[in-house]
Structure 1
Amino acid sequence: MDQDSPVLFSRRGAMALATLNLPKALNALNLEMIKLLDRQLQEWAEDDSVACVWIEGSGEKGFCAGGDVVSLYKASSAYGEAPQTDYTTEFFSREYRLDYRIHTYPKPVVVWGGGIVMGGGIGIMAGASHRIVTERTRMAMPEVTIGLFPDVGGSWFLNRMPGRLGLFLGLSGAQFNGSDALFAGLADRLIADNERLATLDVLADLPFTREAAENHRLVSDCLKGQELRQDRQPASNLRAHYDQIQALTDFSTLPEVCDSITGYDGDDEWLQKAAKTLAGGSPLTPWVVWEQLRRGRHQSLAEVFRMELSLAVNLCASGHFREGVRALLIDKDRSPQWQPASLKDIEWREVERCFATPWPGEHPLADL
């Protein structure tokens, strides 16, 4: 295997390993990585010698910081310009196919989510059968800061969090830790960060069989034995603030909810940061989050990804995404000039356009 490849593949007996290999970019997913990983997962699914898949990221900083938004920025439109929809359609359709494949994979998939796990990284992790976090895990769906939306199945997993935690996280982009991920249903086990290699060794030595259900049981029981003791796990902000988050989001309209969150005037730093992020974010994203969660509540997983593909391509073409990435990652002035500039200036027809299917023919994910 070429060690310069953006994804490395190897074997440990019946266990197949995939390593995202762009540590300097925090393993942010580009189109080549998505293609490589998806193709290899297809091969492993059909290979009887593979009983379990392990996915991790290289480097010390994290599993995956999200998607390669800079390349998407280059293909997206500025305000009033024509977008390059071919690239954005290919990128997101391939990414969502990969995420869907992991959600529906016939064999156990273990994802080691240590360090930074955001955006597209959560997309890979969310669908895995065994999702591991550590005491160093830092997660977020921070798309409000770049004029996108919590995609990669966010319409699915945010809707399945307790109470209105999913709405709060989708609107505010608030960071959360491994204990939060357990509480919110985005992780299954919290294992000490320095136990990664030991955990991999124990899993590789399991007496795997040709029965997927039995292999799932073996992996589950093994990881349960590796979990960090409760008294050594970090405190959960989502658990501690659950009642307060419920109160902040207990309104029937989006403007009321946003006013409530951004109007927080307490001394809790975590809630202060969430309020500040929402206040400075794209005024279009909250409307999209509100509507995507409403529409996605009773959709199938395939319907969720089809809806999100339309949203992703349309939002990249809207200019909000381009302005957000410009301010955060290109010019780095952190002063996005949103158009329109405020939540109340967004017309509902603009929100509806985000959900319209932008392709004249068959939807690219029609076969899911």
Structure 2
Amino acid sequence: MTENLQFETNDQGVGIITLAREKALNSLSYDMVTHMLQLLKKWKNEDAIQVILLEGAGERAFCAGGDIKSLYQTRERENGFQEAKQFFNIEYELDLLIATYPKPILVLMDGIVMGGGVGLSYGASHRVVTEKTKWAMPEMNIGFFPDVGACYFLSQTPGYTGRYAALTATTLTGADAIFMGCADYFIPSESFSTLRDQFLSHNWLADNENRNQSVHLFLQAFIQEPPASELAALQQKIDHHFSNKTIDLIIASLEAEKDEFARDTAQLLRKKSPLSLKVTLAHLKQSQSSTLEETYETDKILAMHFLQCEDFYEGVRSVLIDKTREPAYQYKSIEDVPDDLALSFFREL
């Protein structure tokens, strides 16, 4: 078992998985997703394990996503492309297993929850956020696309708020995540230690009726009313602009308005990879009528295309390597991106 993933079980029926890569904000390596998948498959059929606790080490993050720097380096290795393909296949299989797991999974989403961390947490049965939660799908900042099934569940949010979250890569609060249906409970982070202790000491083996309901009832002693969602307050404006059918029209709608939200959002979109924006919007539309499983299959295809696309490497270079945050993407504007090119990303390589 990798040192970046800690696990233990107790005699009360709890399996504990801790993402233990604290210095890297618990970002996911190949070894971590591989061992987590093996572990959950094993526990699935063990009567001695009835509930799962999923958490991140330290106070800064549950999980900041996949190890993007490692993916960036794949083109420098002889078998790098195949290694990256294998990582995505395992990661998506793990996320789908969590989403279909027959036993309750309680995930504690304190601090940063981004990218791959969202993928891990979305499908869990009981998802807890705090006042410190920073929730985002930030892939648009690096010339990639919101993967880990995000285009499926961000197409199910109130109005067009999920489309806004996907395309702008905006960092949201725990209350926003609850509003979008990507989290369930708001519990102050100061209560986590007590919650964890009591969860581990509760006899889940004896509580054999409806364990999902039992975990829900257990959490009632800790939950509080979440703060007002800023995303909810913006929904009317978001819907007005992001209901447009193309990225060109969305930006034109924003740039036609004088208010601060419209101006800032238009500027934000103009800084993204135009190719990524076009591909992502097409994926969001397609995912509205897809299953979660089908969305993951499309994610696999898109991920391979992006790993052969210069915009991804330019985005990572500018944001994570050189940190200039001034990427020189292939196309200068949305209007320059050929429709045929964006559509080609959906064809298997």
TM-score range, shorter chain: over 0.9
Query: Does the alignment pair 1:146 with 2:139?
Result: no
How is 1:249-268 mapped onto 2 (pairs within 5 angstroms)? Answer: 249-261=242-254, 265-267=258-260
2:282 counterpart of 1:286? no
Residue 83 of structure 1: how far off its partner (Å): 9.2
- Which deviates more, 11-20 or 180-189? 11-20
Indicate the RMSD between aligned Cα atoms, in angstroms.
2.0
Q: Is the 8 A contact 1:15 1:54 kept in 2?
A: yes
What is the CA deviation profile of residues 38-80 of structure 1, one whole-angstrom value per residue up to 9, with x for unaligned ones? 1111111111100000111011111011110001111148xxx
| 2:217 matches 1:217 | no
Would the aligned equivalents of 1:51 and 1:209 in 2 still touch at CA under 8 Å? yes
Change (3 A) 1:267 1:294: closer
* Letter matched to residue 29 of structure 1: L
Relative to structure 1, is the Cα distance of residues 149 and 185 closer, same or farther in structure 2, using a 3 angstrom cutoff? same
- In structure 1, what is the equivalent of residue 95 of structure 2? 99
Provide the secondary structure at the position in 2 that maps to 1:176: coil
Q: Distance in 2 between matches of 1:263 and 1:73?
A: 37
Contact persistence 1:62–1:115 (CA under 8 A)? yes
What does 1:20-99 correspond to in 2, within 5 Å? 20-76=19-75, 84-99=80-95
Distance in 2 of aligned mates of 1:347 and 1:265: 30
How many residues align structurally?
347
Q: Secondary structure at the match of 1:67?
A: coil
Q: Which range is displaced more, 93-102 or 216-225?
A: 216-225
8 Å CA contact retained: 1:29, 1:64: yes
Q: TM-score, normalised by structure 1?
A: 0.89
1:274–1:64: structure 2 CA closer, same or farther, 3 Å change rule? farther
In structure 2, distance between residues paired with 1:200 and 1:274: 39
TM-score, normalisation: structure 2: 0.94
Q: Distance in 2 between matches of 1:212 and 1:174?
A: 41
* SS of aligned partner of 1:241: helix
1:305 equivalent to 2:296? Answer yes
Question: Structure 2 matches for 1:107-186, cutoff 5 A?
Answer: 107-186=103-182
1:242 maps onto 2:235 in alignment: yes
- Secondary structure of 1:355's partner? coil
Matched-pair identity in %: 34
Say if 2:336 is the partner of 1:327: no
Match of 1:192 in 2: 188
Distance of aligned partners of 1:322 and 1:99 in 2 relative to their CA distance in 1, 3 Å threshold? same
Partner AA of 2:244 in structure 1: F
Contact residue 76 and residue 88 of structure 1 kept, 8 A = no
Shift of 1:332: 1.2
Contact 2:14–2:52 (8 Å) recurs in 1? yes
Deviation for aligned residue 1:213: 6.3
Runs of 4+ aligned residues of structure 1 deviating over 6 Å after TM superposition are 210-213
The amino acid across from 2:85 in the alignment is T
CA deviation map 1:338-364 (0-9, x unaligned)? 002211111112111211112xxxxxx
Secondary structure at the counterpart of residue 325 of structure 1: helix
Shift of residue 207, structure 1, vs aligned partner: 3.7
Gaps of 5+ in 2: none
Of 239-248 and 108-117, more deviation after overlay is shown by: 239-248
SS state at 1:49 partner: coil
Name the aligned partner's letter for residue 273 of structure 2.
Answer: S
Sort the Cα spacing of 1:267 and 1:316 in 2 relative to 1 into closer, same or farther, 3 A.
same
Verify the 8 A CA contact 2:13 2:203 in the aligned structure 1: no
CA drift at 1:265: 4.2
